[in-house]
């Protein structure tokens, strides 16, 4: 299944975080109904990490898989080459605020600065402003729609990789909860997360999943 969200281009007004599900596309060939491969997105928060993000990028590159990275602004300095490699490899780069703050607990102007400061950091490296935002803790206050025309990207599979630091536990959660259209939440700041992510990529590929960037699961 594919998550559907409405996207308003930057500078053009409000955004919405409403979502619903639509059936996977299908075509008829003769008497057979052929369905698209199920899709899922691996997404990584809190990076870039100087050691573990390059290890993850190497593993994804070897597998021909593109993922989504939501970067924290304060973690970018000194790791510009890692961000450039993300872009070169075709990954989607998004915003995860500057200091990993819970946006609905800040005054609107401070919340906006957290987002815009990180957008500028990413732009200086990639030449592109990110269109997608992963709000820390999933907190997306409506008043931000007045100053930020970005699309919040949530998740339906939380691996809790930051908590368990256990490869088998993370794999088990994904195996149990993943479905067509799933957006999987992980982090690229722990060695166990990188190991688990690559194992999950192999597992889902073997099961017939097409692993895509998160924007491919959003219909605009």
- Tokens of residue 61, six digits: 């590159």
Distance CA(146)–CA(68), nearest Å, equals 26
Question: Would you call 45 a catalytic residue per the annotation?
Answer: yes
H-run or E-run covering 186:
strand 182-187
Give the phi and the psi of residue 187 in degrees, each rounded to 5.
-135, 150
Bridge partners of 120? none
Question: Among residues 161, 180, 187, 188, which one is catalytic?
Answer: 187
Question: Would you call 187 a catalytic residue per the annotation?
Answer: yes
CA-CA-CA-CA torsion sign (121, 198, 196, 214): positive
Question: Among residues 17, 45, 49, 99, which one is catalytic?
Answer: 45
Residues 6+ apart with CB under 8 A from 158: 173, 185
Asked if residue 89 lies in contact with residue 61, where contact means CB atoms within 8 angstroms, the answer is: yes
Catalytic residues: 45, 187
């Amino acid at each position: 299944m594919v998550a559907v969200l409405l996207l308003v281009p930057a500078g053009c007004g409000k955004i919405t975080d409403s979502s619903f599900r639509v059936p996977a596309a299908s075509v008829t060939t003769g008497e057979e109904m052929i369905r698209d491969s199920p899709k899922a997105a691996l997404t990584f928060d809190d990076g870039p990490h100087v050691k573990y993000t390059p290890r993850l990028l190497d593993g994804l590159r070897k597998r021909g898989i593109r993922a989504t990275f939501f970067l924290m602004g304060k973690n970018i300095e000194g790791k510009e080459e890692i961000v450039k490699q993300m872009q070169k490899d075709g990954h989607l780069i998004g915003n995860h605020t500057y200091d990993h703050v819970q946006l609905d607990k800040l005054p609107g102007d401070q919340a906006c600065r957290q987002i815009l400061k990180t957008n500028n950091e990413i732009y200086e490296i990639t030449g592109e402003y990110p269109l997608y935002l992963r709000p820390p803790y999933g907190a997306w206050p409506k008043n931000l729609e007045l100053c930020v025309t970005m699309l919040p990207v949530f998740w339906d599979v939380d691996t809790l990789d930051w908590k368990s630091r256990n490869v088998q536990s993370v794999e088990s959660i994904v195996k149990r909860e993943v479905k067509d259209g799933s957006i999987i939440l992980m982090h690229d700041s722990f060695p166990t997360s990188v190991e688990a992510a690559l194992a999950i990529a192999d597992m889902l590929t073997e099961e017939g999943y097409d692993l895509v960037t998160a924007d491919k699961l959003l219909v605009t």
